Structure 1
Amino acid sequence: MDIARTLADMALELQQDGTPPAMLDRVVHYARLTLDADDAGIMRIISRSRVETPAATTSRVDEAHALQVKHDEGPCLDAILGRATYRTDDVTTDRRWPLWGPAAAEIGIRSAVGVRLATRTRGYGSLNIYADRPSAFSASDEQVAEMLAAHATAAFAAAEKAEGLTAALESRTTIGQAQGILMEKFAITSDAAFEFLKRISQHENKRLHTVAEAIVVQRDANARPQK
Structure 2
Amino acid sequence: MDVARTLAAMAVELEQERDPETVLDRVSHYARLVLDADDAGVLRIHTRSRVATPAATSDLVNRAHQLQIDFDEGPCLDAIEGRATYVTNDVRRDPRWPQWGPAAAEIGVLSAVGVRLATRDRGYGSLNIYAQRVDAFTDRDAEVAEMLAAHATAAFAAAHELEGLRTALESRSIIGQAQGILMQKFDIDSDAAFEFLKRISQHENRKLVTLAEAIVVQRDSNARPAPAGDAGQTT
Q: Output the TM-score relative to the length of structure 2.
A: 0.82
> Which runs of no fewer than 5 residues in structure 2 stay unpaired?
231-235
Given that 2:18 and 2:162 are in contact with CA atoms closer than 8 Å, whether structure 1 keeps it comes out as no
Shift of 1:185: 4.6
Larger mean CA deviation between 139-148 and 12-21 belongs to 12-21
Flag the 1:37–1:187 CA change in 2: closer, same or farther, 3 A: same
Partner of 1:92, secondary structure, is: helix
What does residue range 8-19 of structure 1 map to in structure 2 within 5 Å? 8-19=8-19
Instruction: Give the superposed CA RMSD.
Output: 2.6
Structure 2 residue 104 is matched with structure 1 residue 119: no
Cα distance in 2 between the residues matched to 1:79 and 1:33: 21
Shift of 1:201: 4.6
> Which runs of no fewer than 5 residues in structure 1 stay unpaired?
none
1:69 maps to 69
1:84 maps to 84
Structure 2 residue 124 is matched with structure 1 residue 154: no
Given that 1:48 and 1:72 are in contact with CA atoms closer than 8 Å, whether structure 2 keeps it comes out as no
2:103 maps to 103
1:135 maps to 135
Given that 1:49 and 1:69 are in contact with CA atoms closer than 8 Å, whether structure 2 keeps it comes out as no
Shift of 1:187: 5.3
Cα distance in 2 between the residues matched to 1:163 and 1:131: 33
State the one-letter code of the partner of 1:62.
Answer: N
Larger mean CA deviation between 187-196 and 94-103 belongs to 187-196
Partner of 2:60, secondary structure, is: helix
For 1:174-206, what per-residue CA distance to the aligned partner results, in whole angstroms no more than 9, with x for missing partners?
222233334445555444544554455556555
Cα distance in 1 between the residues matched to 2:90 and 2:198: 61
Flag the 1:203–1:131 CA change in 2: closer, same or farther, 3 A: closer
Cα distance in 1 between the residues matched to 2:207 and 2:50: 31
State the one-letter code of the partner of 1:14.
Answer: L
What does residue range 1-227 of structure 1 map to in structure 2 within 5 Å? 1-45=1-45, 51-185=51-185, 189-198=189-198, 200-201=200-201, 206-226=206-226, 227=230
Larger mean CA deviation between 82-91 and 9-18 belongs to 9-18
Shift of 1:35: 0.7
Shift of 1:53: 2.2
Larger mean CA deviation between 65-74 and 138-147 belongs to 65-74
Flag the 1:192–1:3 CA change in 2: closer, same or farther, 3 A: same
Aligned residues: 227
Cα distance in 1 between the residues matched to 2:120 and 2:201: 35
Cα distance in 2 between the residues matched to 1:46 and 1:178: 31
State the one-letter code of the partner of 1:130.
Answer: Y
Larger mean CA deviation between 150-159 and 63-72 belongs to 63-72
Cα distance in 2 between the residues matched to 1:63 and 1:224: 48
Flag the 1:208–1:48 CA change in 2: closer, same or farther, 3 A: closer
For 1:85-109, what per-residue CA distance to the aligned partner results, in whole angstroms no more than 9, with x for missing partners?
0011222332222332233233333
